[in-house]
Amino acid sequence: MFKIKNIITISDYITIINIILGMLAILFHDFRFIYVAIVFDALDGYIARKTNTVSDFGAQLDSLCDVVSFGVAPAYLLYFYFENTLTLITSLVFLICGTLRLARFGILDVKYFVGLPIPAGALILSVFCQLFLRYSKDLGNIVGMDVNNLILSLLAVLVGLIMISDIKYPKYPNKIALIIFGISLILSLVGVFEVLFICAIGYVLYGILKMDIEDS
Amino acid sequence: MFKIKNIITISDYITIINIILGMLAILFHDFRFIYVAIVFDALDGYIARKTNTVSDFGAQLDSLCDVVSFGVAPAYLLYFYFENTLTLITSLVFLICGTLRLARFGILDVKYFVGLPIPAGALILSVFCQLFLRYSKDLGNIVGMDVNNLILSLLAVLVGLIMISDIKYPKYPNKIALIIFGISLILSLVGVFEVLFICAIGYVLYGILKMDIEDS
């Protein structure tokens, strides 16, 4: 009756936690669930490799959960907190680019990421939104559009384009980078997301500036 | 810089319309976008086959868009309109089942669908929600839970389980069924969704009662 349970592995359960967190970010309008989802997204791949349970099913499931947690959730929150015709359009652009990025990832088999990975895209958009919610002042309008919304919208499109670009990003970051990222993630959960902001910007620029990753 | 554009085909653009509609259902809290998304979901596969552009990329993209339009959107709307601890849990169950269903679909290659297809699952949950919004009366509480929420929650879990079950559904419906479905879909867009309700129930029961589809 439910043969599907025979193909679900331990790492798939962790992937399911990822999508639950993404959905909670949407339902409770809280960016922090996205940050925690990033941890679980990294964890499922790690555990699948360690337990030798890497599977096509797991890869499919992973992409499906990623589009929710790192595509729909940040796009939804951008529109939710900065409701506007412009953010409506640009949140859709971000989601479409993220989805195209994931579909391409599903068919490529290379040693590096092609285009900014969608969790990083979600992270940078989310952190920017949080910074704007905390610090932004009324900057007035340009051609009838609120300047804050305009900046965030441009960012969403820019991050979207970097995701579907051919810019190469390394697949497995080194340990020091991971530790710094972990600390900044924990800080962001208690409300200090400025460090995470710097990490995210650093990662995006790293891919753009470091063009010398070897082809596989 | 953007080599991805070389692999996007005409049918992929239709798939992208599908995810836009799903996201609009979420952003504007409107079930009708889900119904229109079902049409585009059927259309992209048809056009891909007709134009001979069936691809792995297209299949990946299709699943990613489906999880948004038929997984996240109905789950979100269930919670949005019937906000409650119970609907929170059952909307997550629905989403998880739908996602598992899509991941399995991505790795199976059979002549029939295994488990209720997620667009049908989304349809039945959405139509039920709309019916409850229109007709439901205060039915009181059972063990401290609102009876309307309880029924919808049970339905969400039941539909979820049928999606991940081994029940077989035919892949290509016959023309008469398609015409009836088309008419009932149009009616639902102008507010008459009772016919669509009967269609959806009929399809679910069809799979459960007609167990004799041959194995491939």
State the residue for tokens 């029940």.
B167
Q: Which of A35, A32, A11, A30 is nearest to A181 (CA)?
A: A35
Instruction: Supply the pLDDT for residue B138.
Output: 74
Which chain B residues touch A26 with a CB distance below 8 Å?
Answer: 26, 72, 76
- Min CA distance, A210 vs chain B (Å)? 15
3-class secondary structure, A113? strand
Return d(Cα B42, Cα B177) in angstroms, integer: 14
Instruction: Supply the pLDDT for residue B216.
Output: 41
Would you tell me how many other CB atoms lie within 10 Å of the CB of residue B85?
10
- CATH code, domain with A154: 1.20.120
- Of B19, B164, B166, which is closest to A99 when you measure between CB atoms? B19
Are A107 and B1 within 8 A, CB to CB?
Answer: no
3-class secondary structure, A115? coil
- Residues whose CB falls within 8 Å of the CB of residue B88, separated by 6 or more in sequence, listed in order: A27, B79
Name the amino acid, one letter, at A133. Answer: L
Instruction: Supply the pLDDT for residue B212.
Output: 55
Cα dihedral A100→A101→A105→A110 (10° resolution): 130
Which chain B residues touch A7 with a CB distance below 8 Å?
Answer: 104
Are B166 and A3 within 8 A, CB to CB?
Answer: yes
Return d(Cα B53, Cα B68) in angstroms, integer: 23
Instruction: Supply the pLDDT for residue A215.
Output: 46
Instruction: Supply the pLDDT for residue B94.
Output: 98
User: How much helix, strand and coil, in percent to the nearest 5, is found in chain B?
Assistant: 75, 5, 25
Return d(Cα A47, Cα A45) in angstroms, integer: 6
- Of B8, B79, B104, which is closest to A57 when you measure between CB atoms? B104
Are B1 and A165 within 8 A, CB to CB?
Answer: yes
Global pTM? 0.94
Q: Which residue of B has its CA nearest to A160?
A: B2
Return d(Cα B150, Cα B79) in angstroms, integer: 12
- Please report how the helices A10-27 and B73-81 are oriented relative to each other, as an axis angle in degrees rounded to 10: 50
Q: Which residue of B has its CA nearest to A25?
A: B76
- Give all strands (DSSP E) within chain A, no chain letters: 112-114, 141-142, 145-146, 168-170
Are B68 and A67 within 8 A, CB to CB?
Answer: yes
Are A68 and B71 within 8 A, CB to CB?
Answer: yes
Q: Which of B193, B194, B199 is nearest to B178 (CA)?
A: B199
pLDDT < 70 regions, chain B: 211-216
Which chain A residues touch B88 with a CB distance below 8 Å?
Answer: 27
- Min CA distance, A56 vs chain B (Å)? 7
Instruction: Supply the pLDDT for residue A35.
Output: 95
Are A107 and B56 within 8 A, CB to CB?
Answer: yes
Which chain A residues touch B63 with a CB distance below 8 Å?
Answer: 60, 63-64
- If one counts the domains in chain A, the total is 1
CA angle, residues B2, B6, B11, in degrees to nearest 5? 120
- Give all strands (DSSP E) within A52-177, no chain letters: 112-114, 141-142, 145-146, 168-170
- Min CA distance, B119 vs chain A (Å)? 15
Please write the tens of the pLDDT for every residue from A73-102: 999 999 999 999 999 999 999 999 999 999
Instruction: Supply the pLDDT for residue A216.
Output: 41
Q: Which residue of B has its CA nearest to A62?
A: B103
Half-sphere exposure of B153 (CA within 13 A, CB side): 17
- Domain residues for the domain of B151 are 3-215
User: How much helix, strand and coil, in percent to the nearest 5, is found in chain A?
Assistant: 75, 5, 25
* Chain B residue set in contact with A, beta carbons under 8 Å: 1-4, 7-8, 16, 19-20, 23, 26-27, 56-57, 60-61, 63-65, 67-68, 71-72, 75-76, 79, 88, 91-92, 95-96, 99-100, 102-104, 106-107, 115, 161, 164-166
Are A56 and B19 within 8 A, CB to CB?
Answer: no
Which chain B residues touch A2 with a CB distance below 8 Å?
Answer: 161, 164-166
Which chain B residues touch A8 with a CB distance below 8 Å?
Answer: 100
Q: Which of B200, B6, B204, B212 is nearest to B115 (CA)?
A: B204
B153, B105 Cβ separation under 8 angstroms: no
Return d(Cα A127, Cα A196) in angstroms, integer: 7
Return d(Cα A55, Cα A45) in angstroms, integer: 10
Return d(Cα A172, Cα B148) in angstroms, integer: 49
pLDDT < 50 regions, chain A: 214-216
